[in-house]
Amino acid sequence: MSRSDPGRVRVLVPATSANLGPAFDCAGLALEQHDVLEFALQPGGLSVEVTGVGAGELPTDESHLVVRAFRAACAELGWTPSGLRVVAENAIPQGRGMGSSAAAVVAGVMGAWALCPDVEAIDLNSVLRLTTEMEGHPDNVAACLLGGLTLSWTGDGGVGADSLAVHGDVLPVVLVPEATLSTERARSLLPEVVPHADAAFNAGRSALLVHALTSGSLLLEATEDRLHQRQRTAAMPASLALIERLRAAGHAAVVSGAGPSVLVLGRRTVRSADREPGAEEIADIAALAPEGWRVLPLGVDVRGARVLAGTAGVSSR
């Protein structure tokens, strides 16, 4: 699509995995699995088409999450388009802890910003704030928006985030079950109060996690958690059992986001000259996966969400 068409843009958004073990609600990783959304202005009305994941299941009216995010951004911008057509090409698994809702929200907000004739560039700070308001926490939307390993926080000054480069030896592998789990259900199992010792343990492991992902070492130790994973066993017993097996075998396995998918932070080691880096690691991980689970070796998306065509640029943060 040419940038010369002011009424049509395409937005690419990556899958994400949040928490990464100990860093609950404040760390996320962008992954090379993407949804692509096309937004086009039309004379009137709303048209929504969905292909790939969610086709025939997701709504095709104003209740579609991408459309709701688009409308929220339009309200923020003080702009009302005459009509809108949305075409979603979805590849991110939904309801499995891989950030599908964050991707939808980021896509809708960025689509509105890119099409709005009254702005010259997408303001990433504003997009982060609005998408965090819609999601309720910034970990997934920050990773989706910025790419790489993201650290996010909220304070008196609002929401903030920064992105770090993941060491090239780190190999994310996502194990995806057939079952789904809502974020609301997963969060409902978390206690209101946690022991001081567990909070201190996770604070230390969260700091170690940043070192592990940027250096490619100590991944197993850095992904230990006491705050949220075992507390949600009742909602995803198969996932927690799989994590125990993987970690016992030396793999840095964690619940991906709210679950029930499992993220393994593997390494691109070379054990034999005739195999691709990480091939044996992937095979070892796959051998421990239950029947029916998909094994997805995914690279780290270092760029984050981006407009593939349109009239607006992206401002620096």
Helix (H, G, I), strand (E, B) or coil at 130: helix
User: E strand or H helix at 255, and its extent?
Assistant: strand 253-255
Same structural domain, 78 and 133? yes
The answer to whether residue 3 sits within a structural domain is: no
Q: Give the angle subtended at the CA of 269 by the CAs of 264 and 270, to the nearest 5°.
A: 140
pLDDT of residue 317: 43
Q: Are residues 277 and 305 in the same domain?
A: no
Tokens read off for 135: 């999601």
Tell whether 154 and 271 lie within a shared domain.
Answer: no
- Average pLDDT of the chain is 93
Domain assignment present for 103:
yes
Could you say which DSSP state residue 167 is in?
P
For 189-208, the pLDDT digits (tens) are 998 999 999 999 999 999 99
Task: Work out the angle at residue 78's Cα, subtended by the Cα atoms of residues 62 and 132, and round it to the nearest 5 degrees.
Answer: 65
Reference 164, options 205, 213, 102, 99; nearest CA is: 213
Tell me the per-residue pLDDT of 127-145, one tens digit each, with 9 for 90 and over. 999 999 999 999 999 999 9
Give the pLDDT band of residue 184 (cuts 50, 70, 90): confident
124-135 and 100-115 helices, crossing angle to 10°: 140
* Residue 2 forms part of a structural domain: no
Chain segment 7-29, per-residue pLDDT in tens: 999 999 999 999 999 999 999 99
Query: What is the C-alpha separation between 43 and 83, in angstroms, rounded?
Result: 5
Written as one letter, the residue type at 238 is A
- Confidence band for 186, pLDDT divided at 50, 70 and 90: confident
Closest CA to 100 of 181, 178, 43: 181
pLDDT band at 271 (very low <50, low <70, confident <90, very high): low
Q: Give dist(CA 150, CA 23) in Å, integer.
A: 11
Angle between helices 237-248 and 279-288 (to 10 degrees): 130
According to DSSP, the residues that pair with 158 across neighbouring strands are 155
198 and 117 belong to one structural domain: no
Count of domains forming the chain: 2
pTM listed for this prediction: 0.93
Residue 133 sits in the same domain as residue 193: no
Tens of pLDDT, residues 243-262: 999 999 999 999 999 999 99
Look at residue 197 in the predicted model and tell me its pLDDT: 97
Residue 1 lies in a domain: no
Q: How confident is the model at residue 269 (pLDDT cuts 50, 70, 90)?
A: confident
Which are the contacts of 109, defined by CB distance < 8 A and separation ≥ 6? 69, 70, 72, 73, 127, 130, 131
Each residue's pLDDT tens digit, 83-122:
999 999 999 999 999 999 999 999 999 999 999 999 888 9
Asked if residue 99 and residue 136 are part of one domain, the reply reads yes
Mean pLDDT to the nearest integer, 262-288: 87
Question: For residue 193, what are the domain limits?
Answer: 170-297
Q: Do 263 and 309 belong together in one domain?
A: no
State residue 272's pLDDT score: 63
Residue 135 sits in the same domain as residue 150: yes
For residue 91, what pLDDT is reported? 98
CATH value at residue 76: 3.30.230.10
Q: What is the mean pLDDT of residues 265-288?
A: 85
Q: 26 and 151: one domain? A: yes
Taking alpha carbons only, the member of 167, 147, 166 closest to residue 303 is 147
Q: Among 239, 283, 281, which Cα is nearest to 257's?
A: 239
**Residue 139 within any structural domain of the chain:** yes
pLDDT band at 4 (very low <50, low <70, confident <90, very high): very low
For residue 133, give both structure tokens.
Answer: 């308001």
CA–centroid distance for 168 within its chain: 19
Same domain, 207 and 272: yes
Task: Please state which of the ranges 147-156, 275-284, 300-309 shows the lowest mean pLDDT.
Answer: 275-284
In a domain, 248, yes or no: yes
- Looking at the predicted structure, is the pLDDT value of residue 270 above 50? yes
27 shares its domain with 138: yes
Within a domain: 207: yes
The percentage of the chain sitting over the pLDDT mark of 70, rounded to a whole number, equals 94
CATH of the domain at 256: 3.30.70.890
- pLDDT of residue 3 exceeding 50, the answer is no
Q: In the Cβ-directed half-sphere of 175, how many Cα atoms lie within 13 Å?
A: 30
Same domain, 157 and 305: yes
Whether 255 is in a domain gets the answer: yes
